Structure 1
Amino acid sequence: MLKIDMHTHIIPEKMPNWTEKFGYGDFIYLQHHRPGYAKMMKGNQFFREIEENCWDPEVRIKDYEKFNTQVQVVCTIPVMFSYWAKAHDCLDLSMFLNDHIHELAVQYPKHYIGLATIPMQDTELAIQELERCKELGIPGIQIGSNINDENLSEDRFFPIFEACQELDMAVMVHPWNMMGMKHMTKYWLPWLVGMPAETSRAICSMIFGGVFERLPDLRVNFVHAGGSFLATVGRVEHGFNCRPDLVAIDNPVNPREYLGKFWVDCITHDPEIMKYILKIQGSKKITLGSDYPFPLGDLEIGKFIEEMDLDCSVVEDIFCNSTLDWLKLDKKDYLNE
C-alpha cells in the first residue's frame, strides 16, 4: 500500500547567516559542529541540536524504508517562518527555502513533495511568492497558527487564502509562537499544552471568521490531529449556541457543520482518540502525518493505525488517498512501475 507522510520538516544543510546578511534579528542558522549533527542557532543563542536526517534526503529515504513509507511531504521547520522580520527579508528567506524544497522534489520525484513558506506579514509579497511557487509546481504552503499573534481570521490574511483557492494551492496550518509560552516554560508545556491550543485557535478563527464559509473550495489541513479542537468541539458548539452575541458575530453557521470539510493528520498517539476522530471526521479527511524527524511526532509512521484492525479502505484513505485529495495529486505518479 502506498504510504505518504504529509507532515515532515526539512532544512537546507547550508544556509547564509541571515542575521549577518540582514544586519538585525535572531534568524536561524546552522553550526555544523560534529559529523552528522548541527546546532540551530537563533541569533547568538543555542536553539536546539538537530541530526543529519533534518537535511540529508538519502538518510531520510532509508529511515522511511523501515516503515514501508515511500513518500514524504516536506516543509520548513516553523521557527524558520520569520514572520517577525522585515517583509522583503522574509521573502528573501522564504524564496531560498522554497527553492531548496522544489529542487528536492525535482531530484527525487517518487519520494518528495514540497510545501512552501510565504511572508504572511505582507499580503502582497505573500501572494507574489505563492504565485511563484505555483509556477514551480509546488502544490501547497505551510503557515503558522497565528501571524505575529494575529489570528488567521484577520481581514488582511483573507486575500492570501482567496489566492490559495484561486491557484488551487493547499494549506497546512502548523502551531508555532504558542500563546502564553513565556509563562509556562517548565515541563515542556508550550509543546504539550500550547501547541494543541494553538491549532484549535487557528481552526476556530477560520470558522468563526467565515473563511471556510466564504471560500468553500479552500483545502486546509490542521496538523497534530487538529490539536484540541476535535476533542472540545462540544464546548465550542455550546459557546456558539449560548453566546451567539460573542461567538457568531461574523459567521452564523454552527461550527460543527465544518467537521469533515477540512483535513487533519493522524498524530494522536492514542488509538482510542483516533477512533473518535475517525467517527466525527471521516477517513477521507484524515492524513498520515509523523512530524518527522522530531521526537514528539509519530516515531513509527502510522504503525499504531496498522494495529487498530481498521477496514483496509480506511487505512488506505489515511495512508495515501486523503493526502492525494488534499494536495490534488495523482496516485500513479508515486507508484513504482
Structure 2
Amino acid sequence: MLKIDIHAHYLPRDWPDMAKKYGDDRFPVIHHTDDGRHRIYKDGKFFREIWSNTWDPQQRIDEYARFGVQVQVISTVPVMFSYWAKPHHALELHAALNDHMAETLRTHPRHYAGIGTVPLQSPRLAIQELERCIDQLGLQGVQIGSHIGEWNLDAPELFPFFEAAADLGAAILVHPWDMMGAESMPKYWLPWLVGMPAEQSRAACCLVFGGVLERLPKLKVCLAHGGGSFPYTIGRIEHGFNMRPDLVATDNPRNPREYLERLYFDSWVADSRALQYLLDTCGVERVMLGTDYPFPLGEQVPGAGIDAMELDDAGKARLFHGTALEWLGLPKSRFA
C-alpha cells in the first residue's frame, strides 16, 4: 500500500549564514564539528543537534523503506521561519530553502513532495514566494507558523495570503512554533509538551472564529500534531460559542464544530486512544499519516499508530495516502 508521510522535516546540510551576513545572531546557523556532530545555534546559543538524515535524501529514503513508507512530504524546521527578521532578509533565507527542496524533488520525484516556506511578516513577499513555489519550483504548498509575530492567523493583514493560497490550490501546513508562555516554562521541555498543543488550538480557533475558512471554502489547511488540543477541546470551544456568542461569535456565526470537516489533521498524537478519538471526531477523510520525522518528539515507527487502528483496507488506504493526495492536489500516479 502506498504510504505518504506529510509531516517530515528537511534542511540542507548548509544554508546561508544570515547571522554573519547581516550581523544578527537571531538567525539560525549550522556548525559541523570535527567529531562529526551537527548543531544548530540561535541567538548565539545551542538550539538543537541534527543528523545526516535531516538532509541526506537517499538515507531518508532507505530509513523510510524499513517501515514500508515510500513518500515524504518535506518541510523546513520551524526555527527557520524567522518571522521577526526584516522581510527581504527572511525572503533570502526562505528562497534558498525552497530552491534546495525543489532540487530534491527533481532528483527523487517518486519519493518526495514538498511544501515550502514564505516570509509571512510581509504578506506581499509571502504571496510572491508562494507563487514561485507553486508555479516555478513544483512544490505543493507551504508550511506556516501558528502565529506570525503579533499577528494571529485571523489578522486582516494575512488574509490576502490565504486568499492567494486558495486560488492556487496550495496545501497549507500549520506548524506550532514560538510557543506561548515559553518564558514562564523554562523546565521539563514544557514549551514542546504544553505549548505546542495550545499553539495549534490558537491557530485553529483564529482560522475558524476569524472567518478565514468561512470566506475561503477552497483553502486547504492541515494542522500538524493532530491539531494539537483543538479537536480534544472542541466541546469546550463549542460550549463557549453557544453560551457567550457576544464574545466568541463576533466575526463568524457558524458553529466551530462544523470546521472539523473542513480542516485536515496529521496522525501523530502519540496515543492510540487519542488517534481513535481524532478519527471518530473528524473522520478518516480528514486525517493523514504524519510523523514529525526525524526528531525525537515524532513517531519513531512511521505508520505504527495507524496500523494499530481497527480499520478496513479502504480506511487505512485513506489514512496512508488518500487524504494526503487530496490535500496535496496530486494524482496517485505521481508516485508510481
Q: List per-residue Cα deviations over 1:206-236 (Å, max 9, x = no partner).
A: 0000000000000000010010001000000
Measure how far apart 1:245 and its partner are.
Answer: 0.7
User: Within 5 Å, which residues of 2 pair with 1:53-64?
Assistant: 53-64=53-64
Note if contact 1:237-1:255 (Cα within 8 Å) is conserved in structure 2: yes
Aligned pair 1:231/2:228, yes or no?
no
Equivalent in the alignment of 1:194 = 195
Q: Secondary structure, in 3 states, of the residue corresponding to 1:116? A: strand
Q: Which residue of 1 aligns with 2:294?
A: 293
Partner of 2:160: 159
The CA distance in 2 between the partners of 1:202 and 1:266, in whole Å, is: 18
- Are positions 1:307 and 2:308 aligned together? yes
**Distance (Å, rounded) in 2 between the aligned partners of 1:67 and 1:145:** 30
Alignment match, 1:5: 5
Give distance in 2, aligned partners of 1:145 and 1:172: 10
| CA deviation after TM superposition for structure 1 residue 43, in Å | 4.0
CA separation in 2, counterparts of 1:113 and 1:21?
A: 31
TM score, norm. by length of structure 2: 0.98
Instruction: Report deviation, 1:183.
Output: 0.4
Aligned length: 335
1: CA distance between counterparts of 2:43 and 2:234?
A: 40
Q: Provide the rounded CA distance (Å) in 2 between the counterparts of 1:35 and 1:161.
A: 45
Distance 2:258 2:81 in 1: 31
Secondary structure of 1:250 counterpart? coil
Q: For the Cα contact (< 8 Å) 1:260–1:280, is it kept in 2? A: no
5+ long unaligned stretches in structure 2: none
Distance in 2 (CA, whole Å) between partners of 1:36 and 1:56 is 15
Q: Provide, for residues 244-296 of structure 1, a one-character-per-residue CA deviation record: whole Å limited to 9, x for no partner.
A: 11100000001011112110000111111111111111101101000000011
Contact 2:37 2:51 (C-alpha < 8 Å) held by counterparts: yes
Q: Partners in 2 of 1:170 and 1:108 — Cα distance? A: 20
2:232 counterpart SS class: helix
**Displacement of 1:62:** 1.0
Residue 265 of structure 1 corresponds to which residue in structure 2?
266
Sequence identity percentage = 51
Shift, 1:35, TM fit: 5.9
Distance in 2 (CA, whole Å) between partners of 1:57 and 1:168 is: 27
CA distance in 2, matches of 1:220, 1:17: 31
Using the alignment, how far apart are the partners of 1:333 and 1:34 within structure 2? 41
Gaps of 5+ in 1: none
Residue equivalent to 2:42: 42
1: CA distance, partners of 2:323 / 2:30: 35
> What corresponds to 2:92 in structure 1?
92
Report the Cα offset of residue 308 of structure 1: 2.2
Do the aligned partners of 1:25 and 1:85 also contact (CA within 8 Å) in 2?
no
Cα deviation digits, residues 291-317 of structure 1 (max 9, x gap): 000011111011132122211111111
CA distance in 1 between counterparts of 2:114 and 2:220 reads 16
> What is the CA–CA distance in structure 1 between the aligned matches of 2:154 and 2:35, rounded to whole Å?
44
CA, structure 1 residues 36+325, in 2 after alignment: closer, same or farther (shift >3 Å)? farther
Q: How far did residue 37 of structure 1 move? A: 3.0
What is the match of residue 204 of structure 1? 205
Alignment partners' CA distance in 1, 2:71 and 2:283: 23
Q: Deviations over 1:175-216 (max 9, x none)?
A: 000000110121111001100000000000000000000000
* SS of residue matched to 1:333: helix
Q: Deviations over 1:14-56 (max 9, x none)?
A: 1221111122241111111146530101142111111111111
What TM-score, normalized by structure 1, do the two folds share? Answer: 0.98
Which residue is 1:72 aligned to?
72
SS in 2 for 1:237: helix
In structure 1, the partner of 2:223 is 222
- Alpha carbon RMSD of aligned pairs, Å? 1.0
Q: Answer yes or no: is 1:132 the counterpart of 2:132.
A: yes
Which residue identity lines up with residue 291 of structure 1 in the other structure?
Answer: D
Task: Output the CA distance in 1 between the equivalents of 2:16 and 2:260.
Answer: 42
The equivalent of 2:318 in structure 1 is: 317
Q: CA offsets, 1:122-161, max 9 Å, x none?
A: 0111111111111122110000000013210000000000
